[in-house]
Amino acid sequence: MLARTHQPFSDDTKYNEKPLNNPSISPGPDTLVHMDATPWILAAVAGAGAIGVARLATAVTRRRRRRQALEIPASVDDPTRGRPRPWVILNPSKHADPQAFKERINRKAKELGIEHVHWRETTPEDPGTGQAVRALEEGASVVIAAGGDGTVRAVAAGMAGSGVRMGIIPVGTGNVLAGNLSIPDDPEHALAVALDRNHRAVDLAWVRVDDVTQDSTQPAEGGLRLGARTALDPEVTGQNEEAPASSIEPRADEYACLVVAGMGYDGETMADTDPELKKRIGWIAYVWAGLGAMGVPRMKARLTLRSPAAPAPDPLGVGDQIAGSTLDEATPAGSPRFPADEITRIEARSIMFANAGELKILVLAPDAELSDGLVDVIAVDAQAGMLGWADVTWKMLGQLIGLRPLNLPVSTGKVAFRQAKGASVTADEPQVCQVDGDAIGVAHTMHIRMQAGALDIAVPAERTWMELLPR
């Protein structure tokens, strides 16, 4: 009797039986290897949820700040007429058909009960400051800037310290200040906000450059303001010496700043931005110019902080605070004692001075408040080429969800901050300087001082989250 030989892979082998440790058998080309993706999906969902919660928390914080900044509602009615007398200062270069824009705004004004809107147009020689001064002289109860951040800045320079309400119709490329104030992009809605009762105080920075190696073609708003006021009253005189921090009237060579000023990388970016490209693709033109400016050399500079806020504790030395040596200057008897100035040597790609904290897609200065009387000084440095800039970018993006930068000893990109009532920076080599997106020449030194509460700007009511819920 013959013994039956077992064939391990005969036709009667069950479907789910697999040979073990048999190298002669390998999976066919159509064999699928199944992996359990559940942990990865859960991790992705958890990460997205954490980012969403953090983003919501930062949005709630900013909304609360804006609500706290609101003043008591007050109308912009002319007391003698019982209705507003609006002047709109228009930048015609922002419109393919300026007349059509005027007609659109005039129709909306009539819907709001205003029969006549006074119009003034900007010019290359005067981008809005002189027009604002004359509007105040002619009895405007509200002056509205219709343009980009440059137009808004110029009009604000003429309005500073007047106490008259200012409105904004954002029709520029970046519209950064309008975004920080939650002013709607739609011109008709923005007009309704400008004529409504809600408003808040906003600080204005005055910027001056020294040791200039290349002059600017951009007129200084301080000089435009002085010229317009002198034309109305020949006895008006400007500041002949350095303006003190409390000065209302600017020097003739000071530029107004509502968003951010700086030198170095950001100055190169603004100088290299193509105006025609801005018209075609909007704020992305700044990103394109910024990519090209990444090769700007690191600057060595002397930074002075005027009456700085106390730095946050940093026992590990990895925080995001700029720190320097205290300057002990003699204080006259009977004079108020302010925090001593600080001075430090710094190496950076860019040094910026922010009044507004939020840009189009980034949080530039997380502590910035538009009405705190302080300028937020920001030092940005990148080493190791693109690796350093990637590190800086991640730190900036992290601020969108409330993460503070950690500047470790091994970090290739660093971002540091400090708040002060004013500041000065002097670079060893001349740097391109900018104010609110406009290049203002090449210079070694930039001075910044703050005029607290200089402006009264119309803003929308910041409703609470409960009020935003559907009813």
| Range with lowest mean pLDDT among 22-26, 123-127, 146-150, 346-350 | 22-26
pLDDT at 320: 79
Whether residue 202 is predicted with pLDDT greater than 90 in this model: the reply is: yes
- Select, from the ranges 29-33, 43-47, 376-380, the one with the highest average predicted confidence (pLDDT): 376-380
Whether residue 377 is predicted with pLDDT greater than 90 in this model: the reply is: yes
Contact between 423 and 163 under an 8 Å Cβ cutoff? The reply is: no
Whether residue 339 is predicted with pLDDT greater than 70 in this model: the reply is: no
Pairing assessment for the beta strands 142-147 and 86-90 based on DSSP bridges: parallel
With a CB cutoff of 8 Å and minimum separation 6, the contacts of 345 are: 300, 301, 302, 303
| Cα-based torsion angle of the residue sequence 419, 154, 261, 371 in order, rounded to the nearest 10 degrees | 20
464 against 318, higher pLDDT: 318
188 against 71, higher pLDDT: 188
pLDDT at 371: 94
49 against 59, higher pLDDT: 49
Domain ranges (residues) in the chain: 77-203, 204-232+250-330+339-452
Provide the pLDDT confidence category of residue 57 given band limits of 50, 70 and 90: low
**What topology does CATH give the domain 77-203?**
Rossmann fold (3.40.50)
For residue 131, report the phi and psi dihedrals to the nearest 5 degrees. -65, -40
Provide the pLDDT confidence category of residue 340 given band limits of 50, 70 and 90: confident
382 against 328, higher pLDDT: 382
pLDDT at 331: 42
| Range with lowest mean pLDDT among 154-168, 359-373, 434-448 | 359-373
Provide the pLDDT confidence category of residue 400 given band limits of 50, 70 and 90: confident
Taking alpha carbons only, the member of 417, 401, 439 closest to residue 354 is: 417
CATH for the stretch 204-232+250-330+339-452: 2.60.200.40
pLDDT at 235: 77
Whether residue 360 is predicted with pLDDT greater than 50 in this model: the reply is: yes
* Average pLDDT of the residues in 384-404: 89
Whether residue 133 is predicted with pLDDT greater than 90 in this model: the reply is: yes
Take residue 304 and report the two structure tokens written for it. Answer: 């002075």
Q: What is the mean pLDDT of the chain?
A: 84
pLDDT at 3: 45
Predicted model pTM: 0.82
212 against 5, higher pLDDT: 212
**CB burial class (10 A; 0-12, 13-18, 19+) of residue 254?**
buried
Whether residue 82 is predicted with pLDDT greater than 90 in this model: the reply is: no
In the 8-state DSSP scheme, what is residue 433?
E
State whether the Cα torsion 363-364-370-376 is positive or negative: positive
Contact between 425 and 351 under an 8 Å Cβ cutoff? The reply is: yes
Q: How far apart, in whole angstroms, are the C-alpha atoms of residue 426 and residue 428?
A: 7
